[in-house]
């Protein structure tokens, strides 16, 4: 072999080696970034009270990927989470069912508030702070029992396994608000799943909550986003969304099972019946005692302080209310009462996570 060919061969080998080294370095750096975000998120989990935890989520949870994944059911959602977050390791899942209450009000100086009771069987509360690139920061309540997480599911938050599993929490949020003052909450309606097929992209109800918190600044934007998708609940129940903003607007968004038509009802209160139904519009006081409690209170007292809003949540609570929260839409603050303990209120701002 000539000297020229030997030098050329060595040069090619050197280029290949450098290229492989560069690929390896990029792979290591990329893996480090991913693992750093996950480790930082896991390390941020703090126990505030016996059944109240906080978490600062510091990793990209790939919302665009979730929106294009065709998620129609809880099983689809859990598969997406496990493939995306846990390298394919499959988590077990729990029920999704909420007999809840929500309302909007304002203080005497015009500050907008949203109150929300989460009524369900024994679960722990995770208050989650997210701040995605290209999206709005939000504070939301995650029902991680959906992912089989928590002491009642045998996977305590305090355990290493439990903390790692909390990386699924951005897609398990059932109420929250974002930095723009947009609030959204899921509430149940009745038995029977929603599965719409109008050739729009698919949107599972829990992913809808994440979409609105990340990308809607007000009620109009939220309704506009929802109108672009076919909605699915996929777990045996129909649900609707209570949405409010810092401008004082609040609506209930519902979907007709047969046609997929989206109905938007202006309302400052929401419980567990379809406000858009003809019977409910004609006989609203026949539908739900908790709804009557809220509307009577707001009718007599349209302005409420944060404490008075929490008092209203207490009045509308039931024996199995797991958490009660008041979202301060103007200053991005939330108050929690846990497990019917209204004597102890926990207040969180972004810097507390």
All domains of the chain in start order, with CATH: 44-352 (3.60.60.10)
Cα separation, 93 vs 72, in Å, equals 15
Three-class SS state of 122: coil
Q: Helices in the chain by DSSP H: which ranges?
A: 3-43, 63-67, 74-85, 160-165, 205-215, 219-226, 278-282, 289-300, 306-315
pLDDT at 87: 46
pLDDT at 164: 83
pTM, whole model, 2 decimals? 0.88
- In total, the chain counts a number of residues equal to 353
pLDDT at 147: 74
pLDDT at 191: 66
pLDDT at 196: 84
Report the side by side order of strands in the sheet with 125-130.
46-49, 52-57, 125-130, 138-142, 173-178, 183-191, 237-244, 250-255, 262-266
Among the listed residues 310, 290, 325, the one whose alpha carbon sits nearest the alpha carbon of residue 125: 325
- Per-residue pLDDT in tens (0 to 9) along the chain, 353 residues: 555 555 454 444 443 333 333 333 333 333 344 566 678 888 899 999 999 999 999 889 999 999 999 999 888 998 898 888 764 444 555 555 556 999 999 999 999 999 999 998 778 899 999 999 999 999 999 988 877 787 887 788 878 788 888 889 999 999 999 999 999 999 998 767 788 888 899 999 999 999 999 999 999 999 999 999 999 986 678 899 999 999 999 999 999 888 889 999 999 999 999 999 999 999 989 999 999 999 999 999 999 999 999 999 999 999 999 999 999 999 999 999 999 999 999 999 999 99
pLDDT at 35: 62
């Amino acid at each position: 072999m000539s000297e020229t060919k030997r030098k050329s061969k060595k040069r090619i080998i050197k280029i290949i080696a450098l290229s492989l080294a560069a690929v390896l370095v990029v792979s290591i750096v990329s893996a480090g970034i991913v693992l750093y975000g996950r480790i930082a998120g896991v390390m941020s989990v703090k126990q505030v009270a016996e059944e109240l935890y906080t978490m600062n989520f510091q990793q990209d949870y790939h919302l665009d990927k979730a929106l294009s994944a065709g998620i129609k059911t809880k099983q689809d959602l859990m598969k997406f989470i496990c493939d995306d977050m846990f390298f394919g390791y499959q988590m077990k899942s729990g029920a999704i069912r909420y007999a809840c209450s929500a309302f909007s009000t304002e203080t005497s100086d015009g500050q907008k508030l949203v109150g929300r009771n989460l009524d369900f069987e024994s679960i722990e509360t995770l208050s989650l702070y997210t701040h995605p690139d290209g999206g709005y920061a939000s504070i939301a309540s995650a029902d991680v029992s959906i992912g089989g997480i928590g002491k009642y599911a045998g996977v305590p938050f305090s355990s290493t396994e439990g903390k790692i599993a909390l990386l699924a929490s951005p897609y398990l949020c059932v109420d929250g608000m974002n930095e723009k003052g947009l609030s959204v909450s899921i509430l149940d309606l009745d038995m029977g799943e929603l599965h719409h097929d109008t050739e729009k992209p698919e949107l599972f109800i829990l992913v809808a909550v994440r979409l609105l918190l990340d990308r809607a600044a007000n009620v109009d934007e939220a309704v506009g986003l929802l109108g672009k998708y076919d909605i699915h609940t996929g777990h045996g129940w129909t649900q609707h969304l209570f949405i409010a903003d810092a401008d004082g607007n609040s609506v209930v968004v519902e979907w007709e099972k047969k046609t997929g038509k989206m109905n938007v009802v202006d309302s400052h209160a929401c419980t567990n019946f379809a406000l858009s139904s003809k019977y409910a519009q004609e006989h609203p006081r026949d539908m739900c005692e908790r709804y009557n409690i809220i509307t009577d209170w707001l009718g007599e007292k349209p302005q409420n302080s944060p404490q008075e809003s929490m008092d209203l949540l207490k009045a509308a609570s039931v024996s199995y209310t797991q958490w009660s929260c008041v979202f301060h839409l103007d200053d991005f603050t939330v108050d929690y009462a846990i497990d019917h303990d209204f004597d102890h209120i926990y207040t969180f701002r972004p810097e507390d996570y």
